[in-house]
Amino acid sequence: MKELKLIAVEGVIGVGKTSLAKILADKFHAGTVLEKFEDNPFLENFYADPKKFAFHAQIYFLMSRYRQQREIAQIDLFQSRLISDYLFAKDRIFAEINLGEDEFALYDKIFGLIQKDIPSPDLVLYLQADPELLYRRIKHRDRKFERNIEFDYIKSLGEAYNAFFFHYNQSPVLIINIKGFDFIGNDHDLVYLCNEIRNLKEPRRIVSRS
């Protein structure tokens, strides 16, 4: 595998993408690219009234992520290593779930025009978890704009993510079922993950405790 200069961490809401991205950045002496979801002025309204605000929230996220990823493209990755807490292509997962047919058709035209400008990661870490665990985490952290998230929405996202990564082949993927792992509080688990990242040779590998 080529040298890892750009790593993306992905997974459903509540799986721990940002926390892991920050820890890995420290371990790999890398910079971070963190999604600024809290800046989206439509997000709280979306969770309260998805049908009314889905398109507004989705387009805002799409353009915000695009600007961030274009900045990555300007960085000399021969001199830098970056860890991102999202994969640009995942934006379409949410669009397919949340937008109506006409809205999605318009969104898809915009997405198709801009995605060619986005660099592909050298590796994607896909964090998997049961929807029950994710829902408990979301409720426990109690972010104001997430209080109206329903369990069925988290479940549908998990199914959509699994389908997306089943077909994804633009980058090598390390699929990690987080059940039984504690990458934040357990150094042994973190070292294990770092070794899996460094030693990955195949285009797709699944890691779990089972």
Domain presence at residue 105: yes
Residue 125, classed as helix, strand or coil, is strand
Confidence of residue 139 (pLDDT cuts 50, 70, 90): very high
On whether residue 81 sits in a domain, the answer given is yes
Confidence of residue 38 (pLDDT cuts 50, 70, 90): confident
pTM, rounded to two decimals: 0.92
Q: At residue 174, what are phi and psi to the nearest 5 degrees?
A: -105, 110
Is 138 annotated as a binding-site member?
yes
Total tally of structural domains belonging to the chain: 1
Question: Does 16 show up as a binding residue in the annotation?
Answer: yes
Segment 108-128, tens digit of pLDDT: 999 999 998 898 999 999 999
Would you say 191 is a known binding-site residue? no
Mean pLDDT confidence for 3-21: 94
CATH of the domain at 27: 3.40.50.300
Is 13 marked as a binding-site residue? yes
Is 23 annotated to bind a ligand? Reply is no
| Mean of pLDDT over the chain | 92
pLDDT in tens, 40-96: 999 999 999 999 999 999 999 999 999 998 888 777 655 578 999 999 999 999 999
* Residue 79 backbone phi and psi in degrees, to 5: -105, -10
- Asked if residue 56 belongs to a domain, the reply is yes
Domain that holds residue 27: 6-207
Answer whether residue 1 is part of any domain.
no
* Structural domain includes residue 57: yes
Long-range contacts at 162-168 (CB < 8 A, ≥ 24 apart): 162/128, 164/89, 164/90, 164/93, 165/10, 165/124, 165/126, 168/89, 168/124
Q: Catalytic: which of 26, 49, 85, 142? A: 85
C-alpha span between 23 and 176 (Å, rounded): 16
85 is a catalytic site residue: yes
